[in-house]
């Protein structure tokens, strides 16, 4: 049996202090940053066989986007978060995989920018939250099923 699962049932939350969490209304996708590492060229005149050499540099989780349905409360929440001087805490909890009793959890911080999506007449009004991440991304593996 496969250990794969669908995203339905995941939660995407935000917090001002990292302890009191509130759901992002009408979230339609999960938010998990991809951490990339910069590599600095360190080639010298004596680099072996004329190959470039690199050393690891700093890491960056970049900018991610959370697709949402537009609600006045959700937009108001994100405007307030955008106006905050400190970065916002985010937490994404995945549903439990078949081999788990609780899902994996990803936590990170960032600066949000809410954006309304251009929609056609008759289409649901959408919103996305663009988040410029800052600092580390933490991953906690979910609890194994007993």
Task: For residue 100, count CB atoms less than 10 angstroms from its CB and return exposed for 0-12, middle for 13-18, buried for 19 or more.
Answer: middle
Given this model, what pLDDT does residue 60 score?
A: 96
The pLDDT, as a whole number, for residue 41 is: 96
Q: Using alpha carbons, select from 61, 29, 31 the residue that is nearest to residue 132.
A: 61
Output the CA–CA distances (angstroms, integers) from residue 117 to 33, 73, 81, 83, 124, in the order listed: 21, 16, 19, 20, 10
When pLDDT is cut at 50, 70 and 90, the band that residue 37 belongs to is very high
119 pLDDT higher than 90: no
pLDDT at 1: 78
Kindly report the CATH class assigned to 11-34+61-140: mainly beta
For residues 30 and 107, give the distance between their C-alpha atoms in angstroms, rounded to a whole number: 12
Tens of pLDDT, residues 63-92:
999 999 999 999 999 999 999 999 999 999
Cα→Cα distances 105→44, 94, 136, 140, Å: 43, 6, 14, 5
42, pLDDT greater than 90: yes
For the whole model, what pTM was predicted?
0.90
pLDDT per residue as tens digits for the range 9-33 = 999 999 999 999 999 999 999 999 9
């Amino acid at each position: 049996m496969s250990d794969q699962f669908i995203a339905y049932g995941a939660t995407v939350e935000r917090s001002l202090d990292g302890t009191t969490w509130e759901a992002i209304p009408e979230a339609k996708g999960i938010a998990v940053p991809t951490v990339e590492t910069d590599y600095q060229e360190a080639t010298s005149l004596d680099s072996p066989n004329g190959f470039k050499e690199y050393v690891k540099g700093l890491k960056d989780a970049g900018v991610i986007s959370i697709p949402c349905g537009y609600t006045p409360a959700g937009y108001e929440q994100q405007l307030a978060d955008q106006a905050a001087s400190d970065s916002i805490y985010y937490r994404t909890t995945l549903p439990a995989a078949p081999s788990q009793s609780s899902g994996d959890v990803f936590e990170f911080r960032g600066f949000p920018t809410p954006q309304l999506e251009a929609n056609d007449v008759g289409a649901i009004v959408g919103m996305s939250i663009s988040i410029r991440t800052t600092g580390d991304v933490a991953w906690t593996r979910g609890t194994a099923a007993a």
